[in-house]
Amino acid sequence: MKEFIKSILFITIFLILLNVATNIFILKGNGYGSDVTSFYNEKRNSLDVIFFGSSHSYATFSPEIIKKYSNLNSYNFATQQQPIYITYYYMLEALKYQKPKYFVLDIRMLAIDEDYATEGVTRDAIDKMKISLNKINAINVSVKDKNERLSYYFNIIKYHSRYNELNLTEIKNGLLNVGLNNKGFIGLSKNKNIIVNNDKYLEYTKQLELSEKNNEYLNKIILLAKKNNINLIFVKAPCTLTENEQAKYNKVFAIAKKEKINYIDYNKLINDLKLTKGDFYDTAHLSESGANKVSIHFAKYLNEINSN
């Protein structure tokens, strides 16, 4: 029995030290949306709204503005090019710590047919998730090569060589689990030369089928929201469109109608919201001023839903 207890203590101490070392060595911060650590630092069961998706989400929906105009607490749990299958595991992760009223999904990545993202995209999303069965499942569905998965299960394998890059601030932040204080929102700078006009696509009705993997995980998300009595909302942030992208979005909106899911296509509200020069960072993303306009509109939209 004593040997058994010693073994358990040894394993426990080893795992604690491994976790501490990983937090120190792993890349800190994230200029591409939520740094994940900051999500874990949110007070338990304090969020009413959680946003998910790619940069089209984290550059569009400001929790600060949402709070100001709706009094609802929110967090933008979006990361760069976040694949829909990772979004599903993010939702599962979120439900461990929060009981939100709303899941808001920007549908940009449903127009992308790739079954696997690049390593940089995958690591931005997964590396800082707490180790759990949910993280392991997310890794398994995100990393095609089984031989590469070990460095995702144990991040120290990937980042141990960073010892000569570490500074005192990074070590301190790793020890204290300090994350970015931005609630996942990234306000982008203005580009006064950019105007987005999608008029030729506004009445476009063609639909294209989603990829098999995207369709599978979209259905999982819909079922997850229903199971947990969460109001799922689909949104599409303003951006320049292609014909095929709009056809994919049309398919998602058709699914939303069938499943009685609320949705907003902000490409159709560009003129109504007076999104003009300076409100875009590039043809795919809003600037912070544009994000403020959309966030105000969405906050008021949430007020309408709450009042019904």
Structural domain boundaries enclosing 252: 2-307
How confident is the model at residue 9, as a pLDDT? 76
The pLDDT tens digits for 125-159 are: 999 999 999 999 999 999 999 999 999 999 888 87
Tell me the per-residue pLDDT of 163-201, one tens digit each, with 9 for 90 and over: 677 777 766 667 667 677 899 999 999 999 988 888 877
Mean pLDDT of 118-127: 94
Please give the tally of structural domains in the chain.
Answer: 1
pTM exceeds 0.85 for this model: yes
What CATH number does residue 143 fall under?
A: 3.40.50.1110
Model pLDDT for residues 58-70, shown as the tens digit of each residue: 999 999 999 999 9
Determine which of 195-204, 207-216, 250-259 has the lowest per-residue pLDDT on average: 195-204
Instruction: Please tell me the predicted confidence (pLDDT) of residue 24.
Output: 66
Cβ atoms 267, 204 nearer than 8 A: no
Q: Pick from 156, 155, 184, 153: which is nearest to 37 by CA?
A: 184
**What letter does residue 266 receive in the DSSP assignment?**
G
pLDDT band at residue 260 under the 50/70/90 scheme: very high
Using an 8 Å Cβ cutoff, are 254 and 107 in contact?
A: no
* Sheet of 49-53, strand order: 74-78, 49-53, 102-106, 231-236, 262-265
Instruction: Decide if pLDDT at 75 tops 90.
Output: yes
